[in-house]
Amino acid sequence: MTDNSIYMLCDDDGTPAGMVDLDAIESAATVLAYRMADACDDPARLDAITTQAITEQGSDGFGYVAAAALRITIEHLLAPTLAVTDAAGIDLRTALHEGTRNAEHQAGHHN
């Protein structure tokens, strides 16, 4: 029996560097995304959720889970929210664009 969700990671030379289970990452990321969204107005809970996720995933796995959770948050939570605010005539996108420009400027990314 094979599990098609397990992938080998390789370094730049093609040398195997480890294995990842994409189903496990996606599952943990979904939980993390929704827990963080639910706690969005409570910094202490956000800290606790982050600490728990790091503890559960370990330092090697947390980056993968956090990146996937960010994508889930944007695609499945923020995008539908913006669609609703757009339909209601509430412009949140301008503030997001301004925030992007400010963050890029602060980080020295001038596009």
Q: Is 28 exposed, middle or buried (0-12, 13-18, 19+ CB in 10 A)?
A: buried
Domain ranges of the chain: 6-107
* Mean pLDDT, the chain, whole residue set: 94
CA neighbours closer than 13 Å in the CB half-sphere of residue 104 = 9
**pLDDT reading at 3 higher than 80:** no
pLDDT in tens, 44-98: 999 999 999 999 999 889 999 999 999 999 999 999 999 999 999 999 999 999 9
